Amino acid sequence: MATTNQQRQAAFKTKMRQLGKRQATVWVDAAQHEAIKAYLQGEEPLDAPIDQDQIRLQEWEAQLAEQEARLRARAEHADSLWQTHEALVNEIKDLKRQLASARQHVKPAPSFKIVELAARRDRIAEAMRVGSYSKTERRVDDLEQQIGLSKKFSAEIKGTKSRLHGFVDVATGKKAVTHKREWGAYSFDKSILAESEADLLLEACALLGRVENDVERAGSDITKLHAQRTAERKAFFAKTESTLNARLFHGLDRRGEILFIASMNGSGRGYGKWADLLERLDGRGTWRRDSAVSLFREALAEEKGSMFRRIVDTLMSGEKKLDEMVAGIVEKFRHPDTEDKYGALADRLTTFLVAEQIEKASRP
């Protein structure tokens, strides 16, 4: 019995399915049709159609591959740098060990020498003798103060030197340190100073000793200078007092002495015995036990002493001569303006003093 076309088609489809093929109906253009025929005939492969998503995917794959290559190169470079870093760290550690070992064993070279300050004693004495701002020789009282400071400085150096010596002895294990209110003592079993370090500190102690010696010797120089200046000042005082007594105070009565004090103080009263005396003259300060005559004598002594000191300081500085200064003081006192300014005050105070003496003498 002859098979129909439908049966033949069904058998063909069954055979194709058994071969793993599927039937598909697509609409193609002429070029695609020819390509399909050539592919079916085995002449050339059939290129699959490529859409935009596939194109972008291919581009992304290319970019990812390029980035991956760059990252791989960077990773290799970073790995190389890390290996170099580790090598340098190890090298630095080795150099530190070598340096520590060298510090423990190397001693100062025999040629090591401290260059000391030249003429240290003279420098110290100069600083004690001359004022830092005035650049002139200090006054006698200031020289005495500098002597006291040099003694304190020398004691401070001595204490520092002693403490440094004690530290070296303890740190090198040569000496134990006792504790107050505690049992026993402590010392290091091993030295915590290299021999070169201990030598350097001991050299510092020796240097402190030399500085201390220079300070003491400079202080001795200033002590001698102070004694010399004190004797000179005493001689100047005696000469000044003798000259002023002869040219000004000799034969001066009480009114003249009052006139002298008033002219030296001018219009101001000040805060000394002269001010107390003027208060007593004005009826104030009556609570004081000192008499007006006693206040006057003390005020005159204060004024003379102050004037003598000013004259002597000027003489010791070499700025003026004694005769020149005394002549100026006498001329100022003898000037008519002195009588005009202070004559009335001198009269009042003289009368007040005489009245106090008469009252005192009249008491039983």
DSSP-based three-state secondary structure for 236:
helix
pLDDT higher than threshold 70 for residue 286: no
Nearest CA-CA partner of 154 in 208, 87, 73:
208
Q: Which comes out higher in pLDDT, residue 99 or 258?
A: 258
Task: Indicate left, alpha or beta for 351 from its phi (over 0: left) and psi (-120 to 50: alpha).
Answer: alpha
pLDDT higher than threshold 90 for residue 220: yes
Question: CA geometry: angle at 231 spanning 153 and 219, to 5°?
Answer: 15
Task: Provide the pLDDT confidence category of residue 47 given band limits of 50, 70 and 90.
Answer: low
Q: Strands, E, within 170-224: which ranges?
A: 177-178, 185-186
User: Could you tell me how many residues make up the chain?
Assistant: 364
Query: How many Cβ atoms are within 10 Å of 198's Cβ, its own excluded?
Result: 18
Using CA atoms, how far residue 357 sits from 257, 280, 293, in Å, is 17, 14, 8
**Residues 199/211, Cβ–Cβ less than 8 Å:** no
Nearest CA-CA partner of 280 in 268, 271, 290, 270:
290
What average pLDDT does the segment 270-277 reach? 79
How far is it, in rounded angstroms, from Cα 175 to Cα 168?
Answer: 9
Concatenated DSSP letters for 258-323?
Answer: HHHHHHHHTT---SSHHHHHHHHHTT--TT-SS-HHHHHHHHHHHHHHHHHHHHHHHHHHTSS-HH
How far is it, in rounded angstroms, from Cα 308 to Cα 251?
Answer: 19
Structure tokens at 289: 């036990």
- Average predicted confidence (pLDDT) for the chain: 82
Backbone angles phi, psi at 73, to 5 degrees: -65, -40
pLDDT single digits (tens) 135-189: 888 888 888 899 999 999 999 999 998 888 888 888 887 776 555 545 455 566 6
Structure tokens at 182: 């505690």
What local confidence, expressed as pLDDT, does residue 44 receive? 60
Nearest CA-CA partner of 307 in 257, 362, 357, 252:
257
How far is it, in rounded angstroms, from Cα 258 to Cα 333?
Answer: 11
Question: What pTM was computed for the model?
Answer: 0.54
Structure tokens at 268: 């101001």
The residue written with tokens 């006057």 in the block is: 296
